[in-house]
Structure 1
Amino acid sequence: MTSVDVRPDLEDSWKREQMVGAAMTEVALPETQYAQSGDFNIAYQVMGDGPTDIILVPGIISHIDFQHELPGYTRFLRRLAKFSRVVTFDKRGQGLSDRLADVPSLEERIDDVRTIMDAINSKRAALVGFSEGASMSVLFATTYPERVSHLVLFGGLARISDLLPPNLTPSEVQERLAYVVKSWGNGDFLKRVFASDAGNPEILARIAKFEKLGSSPGALKSYILSNRRIDINPILPVVRTPTLVLHRTTDAQVPVTLGRQLAAGIPGAKYIEYPSGDHAFWTGDIERVTGDIEEFITGQRASEGIDLERILATVLFTDIVGSTNLALQLGDHRWRDLLDNHDDLSGRIVSKHRGTLVKSTGDGVLATFDGPGRAVRCALALSEESKSIGLPVRAGLHCGEVEIRGNDIGGIAVHAAARVMSQSGSNEVFVSRVVTDLVAGTDLKFSERGSYELKGLPGKWDLFAASK
């Protein structure tokens, strides 16, 4: 194999510079800024420039930088940013904001919302409060009604102490708190927030890191003790802001009955209950949730058939080579076990490389990545690991714009990745020219494999075999 320079040919240089530039713009994350709230610096980020301002009010912990590492979070914000200016922040004492000696009261915490709105020159905004943030949002809306156009409360509740099992003795309550503090940073506390992924070691490690970055154990203890005094039931009847309450029936952190009670206490509140999903708002059926929020705030909902969400992504297709013959040789039972092992292996490796496993294709997988380098490394790792369990795999990658269709994806880039894969052989990872251009300067190596006419795609495509 001949090692090649992955720089583009001169005649295509301008075209490829535009593509690389577009990729960098698309995957770039918002910069963290700071606003002064009294003596404290509050970290915030802004995404989008729509006519409506949306302020996301966080739960007990947050870290506006690291949360982009959690699957679905950035996609959720980008979906809202299609029709609004979305602002996220870490409240005082959490994440990237100033840490505190004492936990602020709920009244002091809502100053952070006002400070952020003043910093971005927002006169009026819709508040989307998550979990504990629902209480902050309600208090802000009743304190500053002229500054809140809409209230959206996701996974919220009125009285935090209702999360404790009934009939606990004071000593049992203290024992539970001591355990939470002692185990903080191993992912145990947030398991219920991301219940669907609690059994995935890679995602659990990421959740554990989120805990450590979001709050120190001592700060968490103080916040929990302070939050147990929160009870907004007395002010619910005076809420005059249009309110939407969203809750998931299967929420393992905040029981759905508490969401129903919250909605019932607010005059005229609209309530939507989703039959499945986790406590974290950016998990599950993102399109449905963001669509409900958009319709409530703007009065209209983007048509999935007309205005599909489009993002730039690196698309990976894999395929087990000779799967039909292997199935005949092994028999149904053994083949099914081997396929299950392959699917589990694929899920772990894709997650480890910060990808999104879109679906299993029967004898392969379809996945997307927000970075082409991680996508190539994932494909190489998947090829190597699959070979070790007796399954020869081939893979193809292409970077381009894809359409988000609920839990699936579509578009030319998806077809291109499939066609690139079809040209590769056993235990090979083929990539298109654009992928090599985007990872120029890394330690990845590529070998020329010739130009191909790919079915259904115009022109000839230069393909390369990837290696470490």
Structure 2
Amino acid sequence: MDPLRHQLRRAGAAVHVEPRALDLLLHLVRHRDRVVTKNELLDQVWGNRFVSEAALTTGLRTARLAVGDTGSQQQMIRTVHRRGYQFVGPTTVLEVGPTAGTGRDPGAESSRPKPLTGAESQTIRFCNADDGTGIAYATSGSGPPLLKAANWMTHLDLEWSTPVWSHWLNGLARDRQLIRYDERGCGLSDWVAPSYTFDDWVDDLETVVDAVGLDRFPLLGVSQGGAVAVAYAVRRPERVSRLILAGAYARGRRVRAGSVAEVHAAALDLSLARVGWLHQDPGFLRVFASQFLPDGTPEEWQEFTAFQRQTTSPENGVRFLEEFARIDVSDIAHRVQCPTLIIHSRDDARVPAAQARELAALIPDSQLVLLNSRNHLLTAAEPAWDEFLFHLDEFLIE
């Protein structure tokens, strides 16, 4: 472990560890002469942010895996019941002569291999849908597979460098092979296609599954990608082992409008979106970003706006929004056969939590987890993100 470079290596190879888990590991190693309490770890690693013990559990699991340990083995990090944790692995401290006040050898950094970033370690390939549309897909990480159904506003390459998605990719690819793809009309997939229907999206998911050669796998659907995942799980029950739905819904806004006021509100929302997207109106795009990230900072809204402009054309943006409003899998969701985790922000400003409750009522073998957040897309800084990873990990290892 190199604290100055914030880097961990095993057998000479860089180990990709989330920064918070690496901070946790570093604190345990530095204080290996004693038991470190849970409260101390929470204070030192998360600072003034309030997080639950689930975040600490997730961080410890990640730290243990990074050094080749597990909670059952505890050969490196020992749990001391009701007291805390202690690093017990054999340790050798290497002293490096100071240079220019940094304590580092000026030639060491250039001579050591640099760890690959997520974007550098992923492999991007292309396949063709039945109608000829080119679909870009990517694999990253190693381990058991996790397939993420496509959703709008993705870009296989640019996602690694935007705070909108980078923490999602790092978290999902941790100790897994993450497979994801860009929706037709979006990202690196063809922006011009014969059609952009919901059935096309389900067909494209199947095309990617066949191209990768997956047999049986867990499937994650985020936002409208959740409905696509539900439809695919119903179509191919023999392939989907587990289903995770995050910020998802069974019925689009136009379909679920039950009153005259809701019908008018849905129509107004779509009309404003149509004008805003076609004209790329900065004011509208900022409001649009705030619906996805109501607790985001102005900088995050700006980044979200810049990113969405890079993911698709204004015309496609309108097409997507119109199709999203018409989504309806409420009549088939009861046919999902695999265990399902439905996880949703309690005060989601874009997709009400009532939609998550509806999915939970429709899907037989499902469990619902509501997170303390208003964001439709969870940010790295909020405690709900650690909670999300904790529940995801627990669900996938059951």
Separation in 1, partners of 2:117, 2:308:
29
Question: Closer, same or farther in 2 for the Cα pair 1:209/1:32, shift >3 Å?
Answer: farther
Question: Closer, same or farther in 2 for the Cα pair 1:266/1:156, shift >3 Å?
Answer: same
Alignment of 1:72-221 (within 5 A): 73-161=165-253, 166-168=259-261, 174-184=267-277, 185=280, 186=282, 187=285, 188-197=287-296, 199-200=297-298, 202-221=299-318
Q: CA deviation at 1:67?
A: 2.4
Equivalent in the alignment of 1:294: 393
Alignment of 1:334-373 (within 5 A): none
The code of the aligned residue for 1:41 comes to G
SS in 2 for 1:22: coil
Q: CA deviation at 1:131?
A: 0.8
Q: CA deviation at 1:281?
A: 4.0
Separation in 1, partners of 2:337, 2:196:
26
Separation in 2, partners of 1:192, 1:121:
37
Paired positions, count: 288
Normalized per residue, which structure has more strand?
1
Q: CA deviation at 1:220?
A: 2.0
Alignment of 1:293-332 (within 5 A): 293-299=392-398
Separation in 2, partners of 1:98, 1:27:
20
- The two structures have a TM-score, normalised by structure 2, of 0.65
SS in 2 for 1:196: coil
Q: Unaligned regions of 5+ residues in structure 1, if any? A: 1-5, 300-468
Contact 2:291 2:349 in 1 (8 A): yes
Q: Which moved more, 1:22-31 or 1:227-236?
A: 22-31
Equivalent in the alignment of 2:7: none
Equivalent in the alignment of 1:64: 156
- The two structures have a TM-score, normalised by structure 1, of 0.56
Separation in 1, partners of 2:182, 2:160:
14
State whether structure 2 residue 332 is matched by structure 1 residue 235. Answer: yes
Contact 2:224 2:249 in 1 (8 A): yes
Q: CA deviation at 1:105?
A: 2.4
SS in 2 for 1:271: strand
State whether structure 2 residue 48 is matched by structure 1 residue 48. Answer: no
The code of the aligned residue for 2:234 comes to T
Q: Unaligned regions of 5+ residues in structure 2, if any? A: 1-99
Separation in 2, partners of 1:27, 1:180:
31
Q: CA deviation at 1:132?
A: 0.4
SS in 2 for 1:151: strand
Q: CA deviation at 1:22?
A: 2.4
How many percent identity over aligned positions?
25
Question: Closer, same or farther in 2 for the Cα pair 1:159/1:146, shift >3 Å?
Answer: same
Equivalent in the alignment of 1:225: 322
The code of the aligned residue for 1:250 comes to D
Q: Which moved more, 1:176-185 or 1:21-30?
A: 21-30
Separation in 2, partners of 1:163, 1:189:
20
Contact 2:160 2:169 in 1 (8 A): no
Contact 1:40 1:98 in 2 (8 A): yes
Separation in 2, partners of 1:16, 1:64:
30
Q: Which moved more, 1:107-116 or 1:122-131?
A: 107-116
